Amino acid sequence: MPLDTVLCLDTSGSMNGRGMAELKKGVRQFLLGVQETANKMDLRENVAVVEFGGGASIIQPLSGNYATVLQSVDKLEAGGSTPMFEGLMEALKEILQHGGVLTLPGGRKMTPRVILMTDGYPDNKENVLKAALSFGPAGWQAVGLPHPIPIACVGCGDDVDKDLLQAIAKLTNGMYILGDVSQLSEFFRRQVLLIRFAAQFGHDLQRLRDIMVLRQFMAKMGESVDDDELTGLKTLLLAMLLMSADDDSDDEDDSEQPNMPPFGSRVRRGRDWKWGMQDRMSVGTVVRHRSDGHLVVEWDYDDSSTYRYRFGAEGARDVRVVDEVRAVGSGGVKVGCRVVRGRDWQARYGDQDGGRGSVGAVYKITPRETFNLHVRWPNGTKANYRYHPPGAKEIELEEHVIVGTVIALAALRAMAEDDDSPPSSPVRTTQSSCCSIM
């Protein structure tokens, strides 16, 4: 999917004349840069436009037709008060209805962003702060967002509520700059370059986090960026990147923690869930434990990301164990599938699986490695195996797993004594024959 950007533009009366002309010039340059990025780097961006001036409305839904977007901006006229709260709510509505997540080269993902431009004071400062909370880490779950959305704020002119814009940026992990309307084009140009930077280094988190690498990139592009704006650009970029639980994990090995569901356990949202639709109401698999009371889950709908949840931390349990076998059709083995020793099981493995007929769970797949499937067996053994059909198949999907495998039952028993969560609504279980690829 493309990157989604919502331009939230102040069209109040104070923007009349030069202000509106510079705004349109800046947006035009932004769209030209977005178009160039799409052509040169095969990285498309959908752009929406929200105006607030007297009233607030979405004048252009998210679209990759940049000529249409530009036409909508060219028609803007200045007038009225500054209903910034209503403008931000319209931006939120557009993201909720049509926003998505961009996958960068290398698999890393980026959230949508909002670019807020204003030259004055809003009608209701308190409500604007409440709106900002809805986008940020403290409030995104409550409004149904799948993740926080950062807001890049640009204040133009001398009569700007600087403290408010700084607060919005802080609440959403966005950025804030102050300048003259003549500098709008520079701001929008650097927003384009920021996404090109992310695309170029999307495979290397260490370089993405390095402000010196960002400075060098901007300089190479002909941009002389001061320290404050550079820091803001870095903050905005990191807020847009959807970090997997592995990105900041301090537990890189495969050790299991006591009183947690074993690796490979199947889970759904639990009694203390507070993460909105991050799970998309689906089933996931426990793929790692952390020593800080969190575990890591890969949801069935997305095999490129993992998410960290409380399971003991803060006395909370965000997920609960369920007895639902994963079905994959003819797509091959997936994380969460149940497996048994296969036709190419090596004699040197002996009975490390617990003996013929034991059913294990796949908890990690490393496609580029020879021993690419990581399996956890009911006896606690964890090992890697070759699975490269139609070639080597040291393990195979179990064709006759019944609901209630050893590992799932063990996990359920471990949780039963102290899990006082209310009974879940009935769920449809799937027989493992649906998981067969034979």
Name residue, tokens 């006082």: 420
Q: Provide DSSP, 378-411.
A: TTS-EEEE-B-TTS-BSEEE-TTPPSS-HHHHHH
Name residue, tokens 């997540």: 101
Tens-digit pLDDT profile for residues 384-409? 999 888 888 899 887 644 333 445 44
Burial of 144 (0-12, 13-18, 19+ CB in 10 A): exposed
Name residue, tokens 């049509």: 98
Residue 104 has what DSSP assignment? P
pLDDT value at residue 296: 92
pLDDT, mean of residues 204-217: 84
pLDDT value at residue 331: 58
pLDDT at residue 431 above 70?
no
pLDDT, mean of residues 415-423: 47
What average pLDDT does the structure give for the chain?
A: 84
pLDDT value at residue 433: 30
Is the alpha carbon torsion for 96, 97, 99, 101 positive or negative? Answer: positive
How far is residue 100's CA from residue 141's CA, in Å, rounded to a whole number? Answer: 16
CA-closest candidate to residue 394, choices 339, 431, 320 = 339
How far is residue 82's CA from residue 284's CA, in Å, rounded to a whole number? Answer: 45
How far is residue 155's CA from residue 178's CA, in Å, rounded to a whole number? Answer: 5
How far is residue 334's CA from residue 279's CA, in Å, rounded to a whole number? Answer: 17
User: Strand 338-341 vs strand 151-156: parallel, antiparallel, or unpaired?
Assistant: unpaired
Instruction: Report the range of poorest mean pLDDT among 89-98, 147-156, 251-260, 313-322.
Output: 251-260
Residue 247 has what DSSP assignment? T
How far is residue 365's CA from residue 44's CA, in Å, rounded to a whole number? Answer: 30
CA-closest candidate to residue 159, choices 122, 116, 129, 115 = 122
> Cis peptide before 150, with omega less than 30 degrees from 0?
no
Question: Can you give the C-alpha Rg of the chain in angstroms?
Answer: 25
pLDDT value at residue 5: 94
Tokens of 418: 């102290």
Q: What topology is assigned to 266-435 in CATH?
A: SH3 type barrels. (2.30.30)
Please tell me the CATH code under which domain 3-242 is placed: 3.40.50.410
Reported confidence tier of residue 304, pLDDT bands at 50, 70, 90: confident
Please answer whether residues 111 and 150 qualify as being in contact, where contact means their C-beta atoms are separated by less than 8 angstroms: yes
* Length of the chain as a residue count: 438
Query: In the chain, what are the domain boundaries?
Result: 3-242, 266-435
pLDDT at residue 277 above 90?
no
pLDDT value at residue 243: 67
pLDDT value at residue 258: 86
> For a pLDDT cut of 90, what percent of the chain falls above it?
46
Please answer whether residues 359 and 338 qualify as being in contact, where contact means their C-beta atoms are separated by less than 8 angstroms: yes
Tens-digit pLDDT profile for residues 307-344? 889 999 999 999 999 999 998 766 578 999 999 999 99
pTM of the model: 0.60
pLDDT, mean of residues 278-287: 93
pLDDT at residue 303 above 90?
no
pLDDT value at residue 37: 85
Residue 272 has what DSSP assignment? T
How far is residue 139's CA from residue 147's CA, in Å, rounded to a whole number? Answer: 10
How far is residue 144's CA from residue 281's CA, in Å, rounded to a whole number? Answer: 13
How far is residue 263's CA from residue 258's CA, in Å, rounded to a whole number? Answer: 12
pLDDT value at residue 282: 93
pLDDT at residue 418 above 60?
no
pLDDT at residue 417 above 60?
no
3-state secondary structure of 18: helix
Please answer whether residues 32 and 192 qualify as being in contact, where contact means their C-beta atoms are separated by less than 8 angstroms: no
- In degrees and rounded to multiples of 5, residue 175 shows phi and psi of -140, 165
pLDDT, mean of residues 142-153: 89
Tokens of 176: 């804030």
pLDDT, mean of residues 404-425: 46
pLDDT value at residue 423: 37
